[in-house]
Structure 1
Amino acid sequence: MGRVTAWNTDHDVDLLLAFLNTRDEEEHTDVLDDVEQWRLWARKRDIGEPGDPADLRPLRDALREAVAGREHAPDIAVDLRAELRSGIPVLAPTTAAGLFMAAALRLTVVGDWDRFKICPAHTCQWAFYDRSRNRSRSWCSMRVCGNREKARTFRERAKT
């Protein structure tokens, strides 16, 4: 084994967001509904053996529930190995589920798990990563979902 390279937080954020957003509420699509679509998705992200997408749906849905802060998020167990590489302990996932869980664990350890959020717009529900300094961002996009919500509440106030 070669030298352990520096861990990249952005890679974990991007990977986890992509996984959380394999379901699209606006388009009514789910990458995990189609084996070939899942394999293409996984290949684009350099995920070795992607496994059966149906096996990953409970993990994705549980992670989305947890990100949304819902108390009824189901408990999920994922087999995950740890190894000592070049004198450094590292998570060594052996499955796609392990890869996603390892990313979530690393981001939890560095205190960034709470930066993952779900857009509250019912037609959106997109997962996003809050990069604001005070972690107060509410919408996936202020230009789209935030603007729609503000316009809707303005119209409701104008009616009364």
Structure 2
Amino acid sequence: MRTAGDLDLVRDFLNTLDERRFTRHGQEHSATDELVSGEALSAWWREHDLAGSAPDGAEPDAAELGAVLRLRTALREALLGAGPAAGQDALAGFPVRLAPDGSGRLRLAAATGSPGLDVLVETVATAVASGRWSRLKLCAAPECRWAFHDTSRSGAGRWCSMQVCGNRHKTAAYRRRATA
């Protein structure tokens, strides 16, 4: 089973909701949501080496799926920076505590009732505590909002892809200046 700490895991989790809606090379991209059922969540847990809540292999129930979707929504709202309390109420349902890790150290631990969800919450909490959370962003293009891990030296990346969203934005800005 995967342990907390991989910010790319949180990026992949956020991108289970694909809000992109644009045309590229004549192809219309439609928004999709990977996590529409307990079966889909179970498949995502397995794909990312995360255990679900049921030790007997049963599918996640509606409560677990609802908690997962609330966390995803709250994290996306927080990344959009929709005010100082963005996602605060939704995130309040995912508390973390200090717990011994067995080697005399302490770690941040969640107790959501779902081991997979615990790993996601612990990863976010660890990233926030270490300052790495600021490197996880949503694309600045309103028609995209794809989550990406900003690996630029300055940490000032705005686009999920400079070749797609960044280029589209810069081309539109150039055209506006040229017609003005």
- What TM bracket, shorter-length normalisation? 0.7 to 0.9
Equivalent residue in structure 2 for 1:36, among 31, 39, 46: 39
> Which digits, 9 at most, give the CA deviation of each residue in 1:59-81, with x for residues without a partner?
11111111222214232221545
Local SS of the residue matching 1:85: coil
Equivalent residue in structure 1 for 2:165, among 131, 134, 145: 145
Identity fraction in percent: 38
Residue 48 of structure 1 aligns with an amino acid whose one-letter code is A
Moved more, 139-148 or 76-85: 76-85
Residue 143 of structure 1 aligns with an amino acid whose one-letter code is Q
Local SS of the residue matching 1:136: coil
Runs of 5+ consecutive residues of structure 1 not aligned to the other structure: 1-6
Residue 49 of structure 1 aligns with an amino acid whose one-letter code is G
Structure 1 position 78 matched with structure 2 position 94: yes
> What TM-score do you get using the length of structure 2 for normalisation?
0.75
- Distance of 2:94 and 2:131 partners within structure 1: 21
- Distance of 1:35 and 1:159 partners within structure 2: 51
Structure 1 position 91 matched with structure 2 position 111: no
- Distance of 2:178 and 2:37 partners within structure 1: 45
Residue 111 of structure 1 aligns with an amino acid whose one-letter code is G
Structure 1 position 108 matched with structure 2 position 121: no
Map residues 114-133 of structure 1 onto 2, 5 A cutoff. 114-133=134-153
Cα-Cα RMSD: 2.1
Runs of 4+ with >4 A deviation? none
> What TM-score do you get using the length of structure 1 for normalisation?
0.83
Instruction: Please state how far the C-alpha of 1:91 moved relative to its aligned partner.
Output: 3.2
